Amino acid sequence: MQPVTIDKIISREIVPGYTGKYYHAAQLSIGWLDAKAGHTVPLHSHIHEQVSYVQEGRMLFTIEEEEFILEAGMAITVAPNLKHGATAITDCKLIDVFNPVREDYK
C-alpha cells in the first residue's frame, strides 16, 4: 500500500453543509469533514460502527433518544444500526471512522 496525500482526495458533499474526503482501507473508512454552523445530518442508521472525533468547533450529536454536545478534542462511538444524527453548533472539522468500509462513500 502506498501513502496517500489527503489534500489530493476529491471532496464530496455528504448532505448540505457537510463536505468530506474519504480514504478506504481493507476493513475501514476514514473521513475528514467540514461542517457549516447550523447544518444537520438527519437521523439515520447504517451497519457500520462509527467513531466521530471533533477536531474544531462544537457539535450536537443525537444517538437514539440521547443528545451529546462534543467540543474540540472529544469523540463519540455509534454502535451499528443505532439511529443517529448531528447538528453543527459552530463551523466544525471532524474525523469519522467507519467499520466495515463505507462502500457507498467510494
Per-residue pLDDT of the chain (106 residues; tens, 9 = 90+): 689 999 999 999 999 999 999 999 999 999 999 999 999 999 999 999 999 999 999 999 999 999 999 999 999 999 999 999 999 999 999 999 999 999 999 8
Which of these, 41, 45, 85, 90, lies nearest to 66 by C-alpha position? 85
- Return the pLDDT at 14: 94
pLDDT, position 78:
98
The verdict on residue 47 lying in a domain is yes
C-alpha span between 61 and 76 (Å, rounded)? 9
pLDDT at 2: 83
Check residue 26 and give its pLDDT.
95
The verdict on residue 58 lying in a domain is yes
In a domain, 11, yes or no: no
8 Å CB contact between 92 and 35:
yes
Residue 89 domain-assigned? Answer: yes
Residue 88 lies in domain = 30-105
pTM for this entry:
0.94
For residue 70, being part of any structural domain is answered with yes
CA end-to-end distance (rounded Å), the chain: 17
Q: Work out how many domains the chain is built from and give that number.
A: 1
Query: Is there a domain that residue 8 lies in?
Result: no
Query: What angle is formed at CA 45 by the lines to CA 77 and CA 25, rounded to 5 degrees?
Result: 60
Q: Does 10 fall in a domain?
A: no
For residue 83, the surrounding DSSP H or E stretch is: none
CATH number of the domain bearing residue 41: 2.60.120.10
